[in-house]
Amino acid sequence: MERFLALELASTIRHDGSGGIADDLLTLRGTALWIEKQSELLAGRTPGGGVLVDERFRSEVIGLRQAVRALFARAVSPAPPSPADARRLMPADEALAHINKVAARVPVILRMEWPPGEAPKARLMATETDPHVRLLAALARAAIDFLTGPQREQLHACTAPRCIRYFLKSHGRQEWCKPSCGNRARAARHYRRRQTAPGGGSGPS
């Protein structure tokens, strides 16, 4: 499955495997590791890696994530958003303005690259040299690309108990982000049915 920066950013808030919520961007080290892991996705968007993560940069990435998650909530509506932050979402107009503002911090020029033997590629070149600003703007542009692209219609918040993930549906009837979520959801459904209908026999599985 293709990976998208905006989805990766939103997914830094995740289930910790034991009933709580983990945040990959909680610390400077965690944030640096996350940026490092995105190097392939970032490569087409901003030159050079290796930014030094400081507290200010970390909080700016988190600000962008808040805006992205607010717009993910809008994208999946009227279905419910991820329960992780459903009750403290940034207003959608504020989220839009924020992403646009961060993207605008780096003017970009469009270049064509056509190495022999390969397909030509359009590449956006940043005209700003501050690596922090460049990276933040690249993340904001990725959010714009994602939300204005065809992926938006496949975006879905997993409805399995305790799951907080946004994911891309690969087929129309897919309800859960992964098979283990489907198993948990079916088990919970089965349990509820047994609770409401005592004596109901369990059929062959």
**Nearer to Zn ion by C-beta: 30 or 83?**
83
How many residues sit close enough to Zn ion to count as binding (CB under 5 A)? Answer: 6
Interface residues for Zn ion in 166-185 (CB under 5 A)? 177, 181
For the chain, the three-class secondary structure string (H helix, E strand, C coil) is: CCCCHHHHHHCCEEECCCCCEEECCCCHHHHHHHHHHCHHHHHCCCCCCCCCCCHHHHHHHHHHHHHHHHHHHHHHCCCCCCCCCCCCCCCHHHHHHHHHHHHHCCCEEEEEECCCCCCCEEEEEECCCCHHHHHHHHHHHHHHHHHHCHHHHHEEECCCCCCCCEEECCCCCCCCCCHHHHHHHHHHHHHHHHHHCCCCCCCCC
Interface residues for Zn ion in 55-74 (CB under 5 A)? none
Minimum CB separation of residue 188 from Zn ion in Å reads 12
**Nearer to Zn ion by C-beta: 117 or 179?**
179
**Nearer to Zn ion by C-beta: 83 or 131?**
83
Residue 91 burial (C-beta neighbours within 10 Å; 0-12, 13-18, 19+):
exposed
157 touches Zn ion (CB under 5 A): no
89 touches Zn ion (CB under 5 A): no
103 touches Zn ion (CB under 5 A): no
Minimum CB separation of residue 11 from Zn ion in Å reads 11
**Nearer to Zn ion by C-beta: 32 or 158?**
158
Q: Which of 163, 166, 187, 189 binds Zn ion (CB under 5 A)?
A: 163
Minimum CB separation of residue 161 from Zn ion in Å reads 9
35 touches Zn ion (CB under 5 A): no
Select the span of 21-29, 34-42, 87-95, 163-171 touching Zn ion (CB under 5 A): 163-171
Closest CA to 67 of 77, 56, 75: 75
Site of interaction with Zn ion (CB under 5 A): 158, 160, 163, 165, 177, 181
